[in-house]
C-alpha cells in the first residue's frame, strides 16, 4: 500500500495519528522544530517541539 508524502502540515493535525503511524514499517519521523527539510539521502524530516518520533520518507 502506498502512503501519501506530507512535507508540510499542521502539527496539531498529526498528533492523534502518531501511535498508528509509528506502527507502519519503514516509515521514519524525526520531530524537533517546526521546520521541514529534505536531507541528502532524500528523507523528509519534520521537526516539532524537540521530539524525535517516527518523519515521512520520500
Give the model's pLDDT for residue 47: 53
| Backbone phi, psi, residue 43, to 5° | -80, 140
Rg (CA), the chain: 11
Interval 1-30: pLDDT, tens: 455 555 555 666 767 777 777 777 776 665
The predicted model gives 30-42 an average pLDDT of 50
Assess whether pLDDT exceeds 50 at residue 33: no
Contact in structure between 54 and 28 (CB atoms under 8 Å): yes
| Backbone phi, psi, residue 40, to 5° | -60, -30
Assess whether pLDDT exceeds 50 at residue 58: no
Amino acid at each position: 500500500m502506498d502512503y501519501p508524502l506530507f512535507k508540510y502540515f499542521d502539527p496539531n493535525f498529526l498528533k492523534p495519528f502518531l501511535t498508528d503511524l509509528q506502527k507502519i514499517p519503514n516509515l521514519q519521523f524525526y520531530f524537533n522544530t517546526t521546520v521541514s527539510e529534505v536531507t541528502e539521502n532524500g528523507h523528509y524530516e519534520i521537526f516539532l517541539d524537540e521530539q524525535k518520533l517516527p518523519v515521512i520518507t520520500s
